[in-house]
Structure 1
Amino acid sequence: MRTYLLRKRRKKESSFKYIMSVLHLWLGLLSSVIIFVVCLSGSIYAFKTQIENLIYKDVVYYKSKENSPKIAIDTIVNNFDKQFGGATSITVFKEADKSVLVSSFSKQSNGVSAYYNPNSGELLGTKNKTSIAFFDFILEVHRFLLAGDTGKFINGVAVLIFIFLLFSGFIIWLPKKLNQLKTSLKIKFKAKFYRINYDLHRVLGFYSMLLLFFMSVTGLYVSFHWVKNAVIVGLGGDSIVISDSNIALKKTLSNSFDTMFDDLSREDKTNKKQKSNLQSLLIKTDSIFKYDGTKIIQLADENSKSINIIKMNTGNLLHFYVPDKIEFSINGKIRKQELFTSLPLNNQFKLIAKPLHTGEIMGLPTIIIYFLISLIGCSLPITGFIIWFKKVK
């Protein structure tokens, strides 16, 4: 067995390339199952929105009567409150044929997600709890391997190994001579099975390397505090670890909380019974952010005494889905405006880290690309194992 895990060094092979090759084999065999599971679950979850839109197409999309005006969003929210309890968020899609999505979530339960006709306020239907549970299961597998914090740690170690495998795989792939480059970029489909498998591993691994690396790093960012901290500091932000050595951040947070509580105190004294009109807030938002985009209303609760409206802007060079935000007080006054393009780089990255990881950042085109790349990620442990197994036989 030692022969197959610690091969002989080839003639004229550098020590560095030999070590990379041996580590690539060992670590690849060690992490192969977890990498396969993570990539497969990620490829399924990438199409979550599209699958849900297909499953619920009769309620997600509606037939609008010609010249029929849309009713105030407050009416829809009131209907939801009567039928399901307090709403927490409302999504008003930019697409004219899409219904309004109202959701109610809490720490205790997944709540309800219901679709309403924006012309009549009529309830069209709710998300099926089975499909919600299915995607929750897929996400749990993808992030925690169904093993809680232990699974999260194992997952993280496997992804770190995968990042090294991408690097070592590139070192192994590098041809000795420039005239061999063309051969290294093609798959010989007319060859025998093991040769095709070998080419699939090397060539597909090379073509997908950068995106797989990016997806791995952003996945670690979303899941792990220390990676998030390192990335944010690297992009020019303050450390998100609050400690005695980080007095500046503590002071900044303290001042911001003092200001917020002062505002809340004044509002509570003068406007205890006053409620903001959500429709008017949408109109204000559209008058400030003058472009067509999906709007997400995050309603105030016991923890957040403000109403946030996020509007998704795609009118940029790369057509990224980037969020501009307005924070309203509970009586409808504008507290803060956040234009994505005016934010520091580290804050911009915080806002788009998740869609960058899932592929939603540019809509369906990048979701399809991410799906295909994730499938390649699934295939690498399989084709790699077959390469090793052939040598063992």
Structure 2
Amino acid sequence: MRKFILQVHLWVGLTAGAVLAVMGFTGSLYVFQPELTVALYPELYKTSQPDGTPVDVRTIVQNAEQQFGKEVISINFPMRELENYILKVEGNKQWLFFDAGTGRYLGQMENRRGIMDDLLDLHRNLTIGENGVLITRTCALLLAFVLLSSGLYMWWPKKKRNLKDGLRLKPNASFKRRNYDLHNVFGFYFSIPLLLAAITGAYFGFQEKTQQVVDTLTLAKEPTPYVKKLQSAYQAGVPPLDIYQALDRMDQLYPAYKPRTLVLAPDSLATLNLTYLASKELEAGPQYRPMVYLDQYTGGIVYDYNPETAPIGRKLTRNWFVPIHFGELGGWVTRVLWFFLGLMPGTLWITGLLIWTGKKKKNKKRGYSIPGKRVVAL
């Protein structure tokens, strides 16, 4: 049994490990996305009046529509490191930035976060679209349910007196031994954080399926609606809500929360989407993010996710998965930890690869080859 598990661990690690290394490294950088985005694009993200009261969003909308001659269809409100408004107008794919302190137009970018969106694209789907999503999320599931479990099985010593060796780096060790210890020791200590990051990461790629599993495990009385399939009741000849009516509706719902995004329906059947945040600043713990999907013709609620009253399965994925995956659960402490966590898949892949190649060379010198014998790879 041990030899079989070893082979599974080896070959899954050698293949999926390369993808996980890329995902981990890009994820490490993306942990500090808000701060890096501001540092890269301060002229767009920093307001000219940081201590002043933000200009009313309707004034921003008016300025945008006057300047570009088109209706505003999407709004991102100031929050966290973003101090300004970001809008989109009909027929323009660029993100438009407006100073929250003065209402002045600042400029535009194709990506809302500039190069950081390219980094996210590489992290999520390897820049190859839906096929990339399938690859990255499958690798995340392999990490969670194959590599970590098989790695811990092989890490566990046959004799209790050898347990201490698996918990520390051996001093004054050779390169070969140090590499082996790095793989085993780091793999053990980071196993639980890696498991959490992998499961929550898979959720973002297989959201509907993951939510179904969570709902089943938490004995939900009814399934969670898949928001991408929600629709408005089409009414011929009835105009959809415009941006100002949508803002009025947004003000009526969740007045104790901060507005985060408003997106008008992109076609005649889609819903109008509103999202909120409990706080504009980064806070440790779960993140309460109400999400409301409205009928674009009547303004009636099609689906309302209330983070305080929702079933436990929805609370788990909506309130907890985001801060867990991005390392925000414990504030700055876990963000720093998650930065190093992102380096672990690459570290384990490289050290595992070195262990494997070392064993191959050793067996070749002996005149025979047993592929992967006693090799531990990510």
Q: TM-score if structure 2 supplies the norm length?
A: 0.75
Q: Distance in 1 between matches of 2:86 and 2:245?
A: 18
How many Å separate the matches in 2 of 1:189 and 1:57? 47
Check whether the contact 2:65–2:71 (CA below 8 A) recurs between aligned residues.
yes
For residue 315 of structure 2, the aligned residue among 323, 327, 348 is 348
* AA in 2 matched with 1:368: V
Deviates more, 1:274-283 or 1:26-35: 274-283
Question: Would you say the 8 A contact 1:63–1:97 is kept in 2?
Answer: no
1:195 maps to 177
Match of 2:194 in 1: 212
Alignment of 1:71-82 (within 5 A): 71-82=55-66
Contact kept in structure 1, 2:34 and 2:81, CA below 8 Å: no
Give me the CA root mean square deviation.
4.1
What residue is the counterpart of 2:83 in the other structure?
98
Aligned partners of 2:202, 2:241: CA distance in 1, in Å?
Answer: 44
Deviations 1:72-108 (CA, angstroms, capped at 9, x unpaired):
21110122233344433323235698222224588xx
CA 1:162–1:278: 2 relative to 1, 3 Å: closer
SS in 2 for 1:378: helix
Q: For the Cα contact (< 8 Å) 1:313–1:323, is it kept in 2? A: yes
Give the superposition deviation at 1:122.
0.8
| 1:196-275 superposed matches below 5 A | 196-224=178-206, 226-237=209-220, 261=233
Alignment match, 2:123: 142
C-alpha deviations, 1:200-220, integer Å up to 9, x for none? 111111111112122222222
Equivalent residue runs for 1:101-120 within 5 Å:
101-103=86-88, 111-120=93-102
- Where does structure 1 lack aligned partners over 5 or more consecutive residues? 1-15, 241-248
Secondary structure in 1 aligned to 2:308? helix
Q: Gaps spanning 5+ residues in structure 2: where?
A: 362-378
Counterparts of 1:13-92 in structure 2, within 5 Å, are: 16-64=1-49, 69-84=53-68, 85-92=70-77
The code of the aligned residue for 1:141 comes to L
Is 1:370 the counterpart of 2:370? The answer is no
What SS does structure 2 have at the residue aligned with 1:311? Answer: strand
Secondary structure of the residue aligned to 1:119 is coil
What does 1:258-337 correspond to in 2, within 5 Å? 261=233, 276=244, 280-281=248-249, 283-285=251-253, 288-290=254-256, 293=258, 295-303=260-268, 308-313=273-278, 319-325=285-291, 335=301
Q: Secondary structure at the match of 2:289?
A: strand
Q: Distance in 2 between matches of 1:48 and 1:105?
A: 28
Q: CA deviation at 1:317?
A: 10
Partner SS for 2:49: coil
- Residues 346-393 of structure 1 show CA distances to partners (whole Å, capped at 9, x for unaligned) of 333453545543445666554433221110111111011112222223
- Aligned partners of 2:80 and 2:117: how far apart in 1? 26
Closer, same or farther: CA 265–215 of 1 in aligned 2, 3 Å: same
Task: Give the distance between the partners of 1:366 and 1:372, measured in 2 at CA.
Answer: 10
Q: How many residues align?
A: 352
**Residue type of the alignment partner of 1:391:** K
Distance 1:290 1:334, change over 3 A: farther
Q: Which letter does structure 1 place at the counterpart of 2:148?
A: L
Contact 1:355 1:361 in 2 (8 A): yes
